[in-house]
Structure 1
Amino acid sequence: MRLLPLSMVRPGMKLGKKIYNEEGLVLLGEEVELTQTLINRLGKHGVDFLYIADPRTDDIIVPDVLSDGTRLRAISEIRTSFRKLMDDSMKRKSAGFVQMGRAFRDVMNLIIDDLSGHKDAMIMLSNMSVMDDYLFQHSLNVCIYSTMLGMAHGYNREELMTLGLGSLLHDIGKTQIPIDLLRKNAKLTDDEFSCIKKHAEYGFYLLKDEPNIPLLAAHCAFQHHERLNGSGYPRGIEGTAIHDYARWIGLVDSYDAMTTHRVYRKAMLPHQAMEIIFAGTETLYDKSKIELFRDKIAIYPIGLTVTLNTGESGIVVGLNKLIPHRPIVRLLTNQDGQEIQALQDVDLSKKLSLMIIGVNDIVPA
């Protein structure tokens, strides 16, 4: 399969990977032939990339780290609980929220079980969903990424439960922010940004007294926008005053926000987002956390079209876990742009003279 930006998808192409709807159900399955109408609808719903079936890479399978059942349950709980809080606007009934806490613990058990079967998997682009609200998919993405990193870091199951709940609910305070402000597609005024920033405090107060939600999970909501150098909010705390879980979530939250479609900009590719993350080393984010994240992220995801310094181009067909920036590439065209008849897989970790200089047929000037 081949990973393409929606701008390069053409009618007649067939999906290589499922698209999920806003409820977590499969909207479009593999091998569905795309029409211009479908392509336009996916674009309107914030899908920036699609996996497309390609006979030259039909032996490449990109596994889903979550089962359809777990994904459906997670999105359903997030939607139901967050929308209830939006409707109630801080006037929730305690008993109802206790029930939400139990439901989220059940969801986290499913997520941990699923991810345990993919401990060595690299983190891939995960915005292949049509969502009516960025908040829901973002919450699940951050949870998946944070839990996978927690496993790689060596946390035990109870620690993963707390980290997972903190990441799944890190943005729950946004349920108390006016929806029009969250969806604004223009630059925020200073007053509007001040209002948005209050979601960290709202999240803490929503979670801190719930018996089925660990207090540390509430602190994750409170602290996930704090930064090492004290430049974050809401309190401007720095260094080790920020809990380790919140520092993980802050890193992942930033990355997912950059690689997911927003109303005011298109999604970035992983290597672009990682450049920005690395620029914040030891000022915004811990160096050790960035390094582990770098080792777990698929900087060049499977299926991505890349151009090499030789002028040849191909598709990423495999990842080198120890050197994620040097994947295995199946060459498709030569330096003259002609198709290569005898396909060849080149391991860039062994061919050090070869370098990726462009993606999706775009080479920087």
Structure 2
Amino acid sequence: MKLVDIEAIEPGQTLGRTIFSANGTVLLSIGVQLTVFMISTLKRIGVTMVYIDDPLFRDVTNEEVLSDSTKRAVIQQMSESFDALRSGKTFNTKAVSMTVDQLLDEVLQNQSVLVQLSDIRTEDNAMYIHAMNVCMMSTLVGLNMGLNMIQLKELAIGALLHDIGKINAPELQEGRYHHAWRGFELLKMKREYSLLSAHVAFQHHEKVDGTGTPRGLPGEEIHLYAKITAVANTYDNLLTDLSEGRRLMPHEALERMHAMSGTALERDVLVEFLRIVSVYPNGISVRLSNRQTGVVVGQHRGLPGRPIVRVIDKDGDTAVAAQEIDLAQHTTLFIDSVLV
């Protein structure tokens, strides 16, 4: 599969990854042939990039930390929980806890897999996919930092529900109306959850230099869970931020986060975070320093910035040969730019 800008998609191309709806059901299944109507609909609901099935890269897949079944369960549970809050009801804390257990089990099984955030977002499912991603990445970082299972569960619940204060909140929030305050007030009342989980919602916008919100806490007063969630939250937000007219690619987001180390983000947490994410995810088109272009097809756990790139030599529009360049072995070559 290959990651392609929605504007470059043509009718008849085959979808390379399933797209989920806001309630966790399948919106479009992998393998479906895209029609003019489907492409138009994807654009209308806010999709900017999609994976397509390219015959030259059909064997390329993204090894995932979470299975599709677990993703569906998490998205569905978040949808149900937030819908309950929107209607003035309480959400099912036990059901959320059980969903977190399912997520934790898969994180533990796949802790050596580099994170490649490949799920396609729409305007309807973006909030739920964001919560799922932040939870999954936070848990991986916590695992690498030596947290035990009780601590991982506290962290995971807090990370999954870190934005719960945004539900039914006014668009502009300050002081005690900030969504972090609202989230804390809501979660601290849930006796089934640790108060530390509530503090994740409370503190995930605090910065280690004391300039964050809502209370401007210095680094030593911010709980580790919140510091971890802040890093994961920042990364996922940077990948979807359209303030510059386009979303950042993973390598660009990580460069931004490097600049935040020691000011907005905790340096030790950021170091661990950089070990779990793929700088150049599978399916991305890149240009190498020798001017060859290709698609990333493989990863190295210990060297996330040195993937395997498949270069296709063509005679006109016809592929005549394929070469895989392992940047971990070719140390004088590097990725010059991302072409998506």
Query: What TM-score results when the alignment is normalised by the length of structure 2?
Result: 0.93
Q: Compute the displacement of 1:353 (Å).
A: 1.8
1:297 corresponds to which residue? 277
What are the superposed Cα offsets for residues 21-42 of structure 1, whole Å, 9 maximum, x if unpaired? 1111122222211123212221
1:35 corresponds to which residue? 35
2:137 corresponds to which residue? 145
Quick check: 1:283 aligned with 2:263?
A: yes
1:62 corresponds to which residue? 62
1:170 corresponds to which residue? 162
Distance change (3 Å), C-alpha of 1:229 and 1:136? same
Q: Compute the displacement of 1:266 (Å).
A: 3.6
Q: Compute the displacement of 1:264 (Å).
A: 8.8
**Quick one: distance in 2 between partners of 1:305 and 1:232?**
36
**Which of 295, 302, 311 pairs up with 1:322?**
302
SS at match of 1:358: strand
2:328 corresponds to which residue? 349
**Quick one: distance in 1 between partners of 2:46 and 2:273?**
25
SS at match of 1:343: strand
**Which of 232, 244, 254 pairs up with 1:252?**
232
**Quick one: distance in 1 between partners of 2:48 and 2:99?**
27
SS at match of 1:144: helix
Distance change (3 Å), C-alpha of 1:153 and 1:5? farther
Amino acid at match of 1:158: I
1:217 corresponds to which residue? 197
Quick check: 1:50 aligned with 2:50?
A: yes
Distance change (3 Å), C-alpha of 1:62 and 1:126? closer
2:311 corresponds to which residue? 331
**Quick one: distance in 2 between partners of 1:49 and 1:74?**
22
Amino acid at match of 2:94: R
**Quick one: distance in 1 between partners of 2:148 and 2:203?**
22
1:199 corresponds to which residue? 179
Q: Compute the displacement of 1:340 (Å).
A: 5.6
**Quick one: distance in 2 between partners of 1:112 and 1:193?**
32
1:115 corresponds to which residue? 107
Q: How does 1:225-264 map to 2 (within 5 A)?
A: 225-260=205-240
Query: Runs of 5+ in structure 1 lacking a partner?
Result: 182-191
**Quick one: distance in 2 between partners of 1:153 and 1:256?**
20
Amino acid at match of 2:21: N
What are the superposed Cα offsets for residues 226-258 of structure 1, whole Å, 9 maximum, x if unpaired? 001011001100112100010010111111111
SS at match of 2:275: helix
Query: Runs of 5+ in structure 2 lacking a partner?
Result: none
What are the superposed Cα offsets for residues 328-363 of structure 1, whole Å, 9 maximum, x if unpaired? 1011248x99866221110112112212111126xx
What are the superposed Cα offsets for residues 59-102 of structure 1, whole Å, 9 maximum, x if unpaired? 222234323332222222211221222232xxx5xxx45xx221
SS at match of 1:315: strand
Amino acid at match of 1:49: M
1:273 corresponds to which residue? 253
**Quick one: distance in 2 between partners of 1:260 and 1:47?**
11
SS at match of 2:51: strand
The ranges of structure 1 where at least 4 consecutive aligned residues each deviate by more than 6 angstroms after the TM superposition are 336-339
What are the superposed Cα offsets for residues 87-126 of structure 1, whole Å, 9 maximum, x if unpaired? 32xxx5xxx45xx221111111110112222111111124
Quick check: 1:21 aligned with 2:51?
A: no
Whether the aligned pair in 2 keeps the contact of 1:230 and 1:236 (CA below 8 Å) is yes
* Range with greater deviation from structure 2 (12-21 or 246-255): 12-21
* Range with greater deviation from structure 2 (8-17 or 268-277): 8-17
Q: Compute the displacement of 1:308 (Å).
A: 0.9
| Root-mean-square deviation over aligned CA pairs | 2.3
Whether the aligned pair in 2 keeps the contact of 1:200 and 1:222 (CA below 8 Å) is yes
Whether the aligned pair in 2 keeps the contact of 1:46 and 1:262 (CA below 8 Å) is no
SS at match of 2:174: helix
What are the superposed Cα offsets for residues 302-329 of structure 1, whole Å, 9 maximum, x if unpaired? 0110001211100101112212111110
Whether the aligned pair in 2 keeps the contact of 1:125 and 1:259 (CA below 8 Å) is no
Amino acid at match of 2:103: I
Whether the aligned pair in 2 keeps the contact of 1:261 and 1:267 (CA below 8 Å) is yes
Distance change (3 Å), C-alpha of 1:214 and 1:321? same
* Range with greater deviation from structure 2 (122-131 or 111-120): 122-131
* Range with greater deviation from structure 2 (162-171 or 9-18): 9-18
Whether the aligned pair in 1 keeps the contact of 2:65 and 2:106 (CA below 8 Å) is yes
Distance change (3 Å), C-alpha of 1:197 and 1:304? farther
SS at match of 1:59: coil
How many pairs does the alignment contain? 340
Amino acid at match of 2:187: L
